[in-house]
Chain A
């Protein structure tokens, strides 16, 4: 169970907004984090705190395949992203780095900027502590849970390949 303050954004938050292409040659997640969301919310990177939550509308993370987008968001300290739905490459990238994201159109609609929200990843339950409303997100299928539990796709594959080779 995690609790954090919400930064709320609209529909079609694209990867050029999450991390502009002009910073793609930055050397580290920390450097990327400094520029996260700056083209639509110049204060985001300086005010976001460890454990905070981003709530987006529909098609969150559309655009380029850059994995820098979820990396930048996580490096800011954000614990998870809740959205009505995600662009599929962003969805993939987030899961592949072991960064939890939840699809919940009702929560995306009702939760307001600045609300305090609790999220239970096991059950997919989202609670807006500010308004008392609760929402049920689409729970992860078991396959994806295994990847997230392993902290991402690569550790999951490495463990499996090592096991197959009898290491």
Chain B
């Protein structure tokens, strides 16, 4: 029986000729990731159990992105714990304020993750790197500690859902609309424990940033990972970034899939997820006019340069509506710098947006944009659970950067075509 792309990567890292869904394997890791929320917990258990070394200081990434620049004393303590650990073991890929970006935008940008690699991260959106043809998945802090010590971990080989993409996206429809549409189709547990394997002619029409956004939210369908084949766009992206040997894997023609889903990209419309589940999807035209108090453009899902460009294109020469707070957060220092160089930062500021240095901040109700009771945001982030961006009676509507920017101008939920 053939293997999926995910299964091939797992087999290779387990040193096995083949694996099948359900197998429990121990596999070698190419990278272990943690952030300022999860690393301190990992450090605590790492020290408690008495490990005295890390498996490879070049294969660990510690990225202080969630509550930074530190929002309070407790957060500062968490960062200090992570920082001291990085210093103690001379961790190569340690990113602190001034260099830090949101981990899942930063690692691909720096070439720290590449095709065919096996990456675990103590952050659920670690699945983002599937866009590069890697197997990457979110784990807990204990897994992170185990990975840092042993350089390997256990995995249950996932079955797969094949998502065949056809056609081409319409203007102002993006990767975010694709993944929200898919989650709406299959539900928040539609891909539980499974890999989402994206294939088809439509893939080559998607930019790398679109692919990152799609792979990023595989977890919102319950997926273990989301993965894209490696093509010319992938190779173009990693050129000059990934300066080490890497492997390109392809699914076998007779690979087994539990389910096959087809999405014609040309039929998709600007899509949103209403509170309080990412699967609660509607097209913008169905729910246009919902009152909003806040707009957030950023996050590991949509804080890349193409996201900033599309938002700026819409905001240019326009003003954020009275009564709406629009917060724009580029995901990395490089994206921030590009925004400055391209005049995008100026557009945001002139239109009345707050424009901040990189942080996860408001996405998880951490800082930089918490909401009080009764408020509602349109946000390019990835989760709209109860209390996600602040008060338990505040609401988050998930949307693309185009829809978020248009809504900021309109003062209510709407699409660029409503401007």
- Where the two chains meet, the residues of A that have a C-beta atom closer than 8 Å to any C-beta of B are 12, 14, 16-17, 20-22, 24-25, 27, 39, 58-59, 62-68, 85, 87-89, 91-93, 96-97, 141, 143-144, 147, 152-155, 157-158, 161
Contacts and interface: CB of A to CB of B under 8 A. Distances in A.
Contacts of B142: 67, 93, 96-97, 152-154
A11 B388 CA distance: 18
Contacts of B192: 59, 85, 87-88
Interface string B36-75: 0110010001100111000000000000000100001011
B1 to A, nearest CB: 21
Contacts of B224: 88
Contacts of A88: 192-193, 222, 224
A39 B387 contact: yes
Contacts, number: 118
9 contacts: A59-B192, A65-B38, A85-B189, A88-B192, A89-B140, A144-B24, A154-B145, A157-B149, A158-B50
Contacts of B46: 154
Contacts of A91: 193
Given A20-B387, A62-B188, A87-B222, A158 B143 contact: no
A9 to B, nearest CB: 13
Contacts of A153: 142-143, 146, 154
Contacts of A58: 189
Contacts of A68: 41
A157 B222 contact: no
B78 A25 contact: yes
A154 B78 contact: no
Contact of B146 (A20, A27, A157): A157
Given A96-B142, A96-B143, A157 B385 contact: no
Given A21-B387, A93-B142, 6 more contacts: A17-B386, A65-B139, A66-B140, A97-B142, A153-B154, A154-B142
Contact of B365 (A12, A14, A21, A152): A21
| Residue of B51, B140, B146, B366 with most chain A CB atoms under a 10 A cut-off | B140
Given A59-B189, A158-B49, A92 B386 contact: no
Given A14-B385, A87-B189, A21 B140 contact: no
A14 B143 CA distance: 20
Contacts of A147: 154
B38 A66 contact: yes
A67 B222 contact: no
Contact of A16 (B41, B145, B388): B388
A28 to B, nearest CB: 10
B140 A92 contact: yes
B74 A141 contact: no
Contacts of B51: 154, 158
A37 B74 CA distance: 22
Contacts of B366: 21
A65 B128 CA distance: 14
Nearest to A11: B189
A63 B150 contact: no
Nearest to A67: B140
A103 to B, nearest CB: 11
B7 interface: no
A76 B126 CA distance: 29
A22 B140 contact: no
Given A25-B74, A96-B146, A63 B383 contact: yes
B283 interface: no
A157 B41 contact: no
Given A21-B365, A89-B140, A154-B142, A143 B24 contact: yes
A87 B218 CA distance: 13
A118 B38 CA distance: 34
Contacts of B123: 65
B154 to A, nearest CB: 7
B141 interface: yes
| Leading 9 A-B pairs by shortest Cβ distance | A93-B140, A67-B140, A25-B74, A59-B189, A96-B142, A65-B124, A65-B138, A154-B49, A16-B385
Given A22-B365, A62-B189, A92-B143, A16 B222 contact: no
A65 B140 contact: yes
Contact of A96 (B24, B126, B140, B385): B140
